[in-house]
Chains A and B, each alone.
Chain A
Amino acid sequence: MKQIYKIEIRRAFLNKRMLFALTAGIIICAVHFVQWLPTTFDYLKTPEGTILSFYPANVFSEWICSNNYNWEQYVYFLIFPLLACIPYGASLYDDWNGGYAKNIIIKRRKRDYFRAKWLAVFLSGGVSVTVPLILNFLAFLTIAPVNKPEIASLFYAVGGDNILAPLFYHYPFAYLILYMCIDFIYGGILAGICLMMTNMTQRRFVVEVTPLFIYIFLYAVIALMSEQEYSPVSFLNMGSGTMHYAYMTVFALVVAGVITVYVEYSGRKGELY
């Protein structure tokens, strides 16, 4: 049983599509780093004379997810589902139409195959969206200090009424790790939507881009209601200063639950595939 998980995870990570998704994400993050270098150095310079409210920039105020007004973060979080789905999202479609899945199911239990597939897709989606962000953060560590965020400097998007503000201002690394986990989970879930699309269409392209369509559709509808902070495009960025943690959790649990039920159902019943 463990063997099939190993095989699926290995296939999910060691493929050209994963390399492509990571490269695309890293390029966006690298462009941000290069573009923000002069600004960061400006914010680090101590001004002439004494300005009591001066506080130098730090890594938490400069990296790609530190705010929601740099265009790179907007592009990154706009194509977020695509970056998550490219590596392994359409693998079930490929396996099924190429005959690989049939060969596996003869030797193993169908249920295990589907579970392994869901896990591999989830992990590949999560890794492909978080690694570029982590690399961007590490790059900024080499030019900006890790001073604790100072609320009085007014650099940060996390406001006073944010329930996790004490965590951000006291333990910024813990907040960062928490947010990377949120992005990882959402990356995995968005990639998981591809599994549900597999037997609904004859086109591989549709399987891969459906999560992006749903994502953009949600963004458009929520924007029409002027409630942008409820859109994943906004709240997946740590720099948006979102306060809707309960909404984010429920949203993720519902979608992940639906995918898991679908995977379990497909693994037990023969009609779907």
Chain B
Amino acid sequence: MKKKCVITFMVIFLILLIVLFVIRVWKVNDKYGLKTSKAYDINEIMECDGVEYTVLGTRVCTVDDTEQTKLLCVRVSVKNVSGRIKDMMLSDYTMNLNYNLIYPGMDYIAYVNDNISSMSVKIYPGVKAEFELPYVIEDKYLNTASKKYTVEDYCELDFELYPDKKMVMLDTDILYEDEK
């Protein structure tokens, strides 16, 4: 009888613990979970924090001094629609090129300049500016991605990660032009 009571108590305690655990996990994910994820196309306007971004196109180039380094240059138009001067630190402005989810692209300007974090640009209200953002693309990743992986081949440029993920899907064909 006593043993039965202990077992019943333990089962009730365990069930209670599981219920509390599930409620807690649900609450945490409700609070911190990713809200939405939206993919934009090239030439589509995307607004992030009072700035309109438009990816105008991409091209592949190499760097003169290190010809081995292949760059994917992304032309981005930035328009300040916030009604106030936007002081944008270049380190914050670094966007992540996310190739096939296997390699975070690196902003080449930041890569070759140690003092990049101290640089910033000011954009006045209503002013539109164009930038070309270079990202290092290593051939070994391209080869790995094109020959070994079967996951959908895509290349995304992430502008904002949280709470709403905003990204632009880029053309990947140009990355394989050498192979063709």
Q: Which residues of A contact B (CB under 8 A)?
A: 44, 46, 50-56, 58, 138, 141-148, 150-154, 160-163, 165-166, 169-170
Stretch at the interface among B63-71, B73-81, B90-98, B168-176: B90-98
A170 to B152, CA, bound (A): 12
B141 and A52 form a contact (CB under 8 A) = no
B156 nearest CB neighbor, chain A only: A152
A46 / chain B contacts, CB cutoff of 8 Å: 162-163
Within 8 A of A (CB), among B19-48: 21, 24-25, 28-29, 31-34, 48
A52 / chain B contacts, CB cutoff of 8 Å: 48-49, 92-93, 95, 159-161
A53 and B104 form a contact (CB under 8 A) = no
The interface residues of chain A, by DSSP majority, are classed as: loop
Q: Does B111 contact A (CB under 8 A)?
A: no
Sampled A-B contacts (29; CB under 8 Å): A46-B163, A50-B48, A50-B49, A52-B92, A52-B95, A52-B161, A53-B94, A53-B96, A54-B161, A54-B162, A56-B32, A141-B25, A141-B28, A142-B24, A142-B25, A143-B28, A144-B28, A144-B32, A145-B33, A147-B34, A148-B34, A152-B98, A153-B161, A161-B144, A162-B102, A166-B100, A166-B149, A166-B151, A170-B101
The interface residues of chain B, by DSSP majority, are classed as: mixed
A143 to B94, CA, bound (A): 30
A142 and B160 form a contact (CB under 8 A) = no
A166 and B102 form a contact (CB under 8 A) = yes
Q: Which residues of B contact A (CB under 8 A)?
A: 21, 24-25, 28-29, 31-34, 48-49, 92-96, 98-104, 140-141, 144, 148-149, 151, 158-163, 165
B162 / chain A contacts, CB cutoff of 8 Å: 46, 54-56
A150 / chain B contacts, CB cutoff of 8 Å: 161, 165
Shortest CB-to-CB span from B180 to chain A, Å, is 23
A150 to B94, CA, bound (A): 16
B159 / chain A contacts, CB cutoff of 8 Å: 52
B102 and A145 form a contact (CB under 8 A) = no
Nearest first, the 8 closest Cβ-Cβ pairs linking A and B are A160-B103, A152-B96, A50-B49, A145-B32, A55-B161, A160-B102, A142-B24, A169-B101
B100 nearest CB neighbor, chain A only: A166
Q: Which among A44, A54, A160, A170 is the interface contact of B32 at CB below 8 angstroms? A: A44
Apart from the given pairs A44-B32, A50-B48, A152-B161, 16 other A-B contacts in the complex at a CB distance below 8 Å: A46-B163, A51-B92, A52-B95, A52-B161, A141-B21, A145-B28, A145-B29, A145-B33, A150-B165, A151-B101, A151-B102, A152-B104, A161-B144, A165-B101, A166-B101, A169-B102
B101 and A161 form a contact (CB under 8 A) = no
